Chains A and B, each alone.
Chain A
């Protein structure tokens, strides 16, 4: 009986630890993926701004 208790305790411990570690890792993975994409877009926008203002910013009229 003690071995089964030990096994059940081990399984519970591993499950809890895996849940918390897994959720943090997944959060990190998603954040990393999304932020890389955001950085690429920001870089592209920055280049466009530079290009436009280097050629003297266009006057916007209504």
Chain B
């Protein structure tokens, strides 16, 4: 796959392989998208992310009007402060899906599949994908910056979707793919009766094995796809896309190309009326906070280095003390260490929500997921309660809290993953 000089493929914990610059910084794009009252984002061949600080809201999300002065204006960055353009030099030439566009200031910027390419100032090390994400947060979420990925290494007819549990293998229509412990040595033991429930994923006659992908012959001339020597199926009773229901049947498993890192020691998994959530040691549901503002540049407002005005409003009515009571941070023990990059221990000034130095008086050591603190909710009284799921603007898709869903059996598998 041809790429510009220095661009490489970088392995990441949550998003799998992504394109990165020569320093390993993840590359992102911001494709144009439609919101309630109009579109924003980059159209093909043009960057709308400028170095001019935006001061007022765009009114893209009804019912509130445009022209409202944005919070913390004196500290609000310009788009390029957070999303430096991935510049091309004057001698650069298009290669493959990579082209070059000219910015308003006359400089050149790489584009991928037509869309301007950026890095994120939140990414500090190779493999970080802290600026944006590839899974969708729901129709009313901001126009997201998404990491640019090489096409997944799957045959035609398959796809990969990023969930909180990992990179799930699905069919091109989104149905979950399963394998069975009963199938050994690359043979399918699923007979005609079994295949009524477990539908073999058949391969076309011209399909060829490739890497971890192989073919097993079900009957003369009928081939079935296999991954890592396990024949593949869909589950008739899943009923909908992105489901994990088939893995409840002993011996059957969803297929992942990559599992998500394990949560910190002591965290638990709890059953709810929807499926399963991640919870703390006491069984209290874990929540993430997600925020994107209603300005034309749709900047994030959910990171401790960015404005806390939105979060403090929605977690405590603007009262930091009430925030701490309603949505307490999940504190980490002194000796707590994460075994992954996705989970970390950060130090927070509890009343401002900003990052603090480790020795700062009154600072809290808290667990963070994707560099953002996680919370519990005081209104949850028993394990399995998730009353604050969707607490906030646009049901938590804009400025609010979402439960850390690990499994969702009811909403088409679309409960957005954690923020």
Partners in one complex: no
